[in-house]
A and B are shown apart, each in its own frame.
Chain A
Amino acid sequence: MTASPIRVLVAKPGLDGHDRGAKIVARALRDAGMEVIYTGLRQTPEQIVNVALQEDVDAIGISILSGAHNSILPRICELLRQEEMEDVLLVVGGIIPNEDIPALKSAGVAEVFQPGVSTQEIVDFIRTHVRQKNAPTG
């Protein structure tokens, strides 16, 4: 019996409407056998964490290119803590300067994917870092 597929929420927070990358990542994760829910645009941190909770996802992928990451991501991390969802893997892609990465990781972001990364790297990272849900049998 195989473990159930990894469930991932792909989300676009804030006002940014550029979704080329988010849609490509969502599709690549699906092609890799994961179950993907895509929130659509202009979600608040509250909405994102709420959907993640409802959908019982294993990972959340945030796409943000607008420069608002330093206020949005810590807010998402705070909400995940409040909901006791810290074991949900949180990854981010978009335009994130190097200088901002250490603080994001301290806040709870597992990895930051900057322009040029391949979808395979994202798939591999999620596979290897996501929490184990079902012990494989047989």
Chain B
Amino acid sequence: MKYGGLILANLFRKKMRLALTIGSFAVALFLFGLLAVVRGAFNQGEEIAGANRLVVANRASLIQPLPLSYADRMLRIPGVKLVAHDNWFGGIYQDERNFFGQFVIDVANQRQAFPELVVPDDQWQNFVKDRQGAIAGEKIAQRFGWKIGDRIPIKGTFVQGTWEFNLDGIYHGARPQDDVSQFWFQWDYYQERVPDRFKGLVGWYWAVIDNPDNAARIAKAIDQEFSNSAYETHTETEKMFAAGWVKQMGNIEFLILSIGSVVFFTLLLVTGNTMAIAVRERTAELAVLKAVGFSDRFVLALVLGESLIMAVIGGTIGLGLAKLFTVTVGDPTQGFLPYFRLPLETIVAGLIVALGVGAVSGLIPAVGAMRLRVVDALRRV
């Protein structure tokens, strides 16, 4: 690192400018980090979707139910290994702002359908035996400070009254991206209390299939099985279902990409301008370096190196702050974006983007410095 002193001295030449340029990178990469977090949160459903799971919903709308009897008929279709059902409950815990997903689950098939959502055996057994039992994701339990054995009251919305649950277990995800913010309770308890018009009706089915390659054929077969009935179905892969869910909220991907592009283009202009000024100010010095015997490539690397160092420092600060934000503040939507995390891959991608911007913005001034003729440069001074 015998050139370290030279590089550092040049970097700290104008401390305010250095701070502002690094600050620009930090702000841009902080925004990049948050946008990536939001994008990841919206796309989480797609990312965690089981490749061998199909979602079977009412063709008219997801909020329209399907008969419980469909399960057996689906199981008879070749390729369908397992069928589980779910209902959306939509209750309120203490306050409407305390949103989290509550699901009426199919106790017999839940664990086989979702092996990635892990419940310890003893807790699961207690839950199975307890009609009013419930299982919460570790994130939601942590959020409300729930412990196993706690009594949890939830006020019904479309099903009136207060529902009391015993927390028998807490599940966690086998992968970091798994949704651990759900609340599950038993189908039998639900059936016991709902009005007659809701009895025997499920919200949607999960069909676990033998081979993801057969998904299209099996989905078609399921929909054909129930065509021309009172409850026609619409079957698709879990991934497509999740993607459709996100699309209902608008083109989030485009929005995030647009904002990100504007931010980075602006950063490119700011940094490019800074580097151009920095090089112009030191024309004579660069000429002297060349006169002394430093090569054109060295001068190129010197200027480019400064740009890249600023990018890395600013990028690290920005991404560090974004990570800190996700860890300390967390999901600002109070539960709508349960997967509000900044994964390592995104941090690495952010640093690569920062380096890219640093390289592009430093390239033109660096090439100019490289091509600088000593005689011309000294004549200008």
Q: Do A and B bind each other?
A: no
